[in-house]
Amino acid sequence: MAGTRLRHVGRAASAGALYFVMAFAAGFAMGALRVGQIAPRTGDLIAVLIEMPFMLLVSWFACSWMIRRMRVGPALTERITMGAAAFLFLMIAELVMSMTLFGSSPTEYFAEFREPHGLIGLAGQLAFALFPLAQRHVNVKS
């Protein structure tokens, strides 16, 4: 029984890692567009507000697809594990990207969350992390 539960949680963690990869790839493309084209014209806040609905939509469907593909069950532990793994990978990847591409320190990276655009981005990241849990009883076709 415990071995089966551990396998399910392991599969959920793997699904979270793959869910992160899918969302991060889309986010990287959209982020390049936001930073390079939209933000210089509108400012950071408006740019994030424009990008957010698209990222949430992509993430919702990526989550649904990954749940089905990896056969992640509706158990609370599985869904929380999937979301937590995806969120952890996302935060690490964004920190590393911020440091390597933009030359930011970890302190500078986390300070962005105190700005309105950073808070909205963090809210979107938390929603991304909660999507596996939110989809426990949702049957979405993608």
pLDDT of amino acid 2: 64
Give dist(CA 123, CA 117) in Å, integer.
10
pLDDT of amino acid 141: 52
SS3 assignment, position 116 = helix
Give dist(CA 74, CA 94) in Å, integer.
28
As averages over each run of 10 residues, the pLDDT of the chain (142 residues) reads 76 96 95 94 96 97 96 95 98 96 94 96 97 84 48
pLDDT of amino acid 137: 81
pLDDT of amino acid 6: 74
Residue reference for tokens 């071995």: 3
Give dist(CA 75, CA 68) in Å, integer.
14
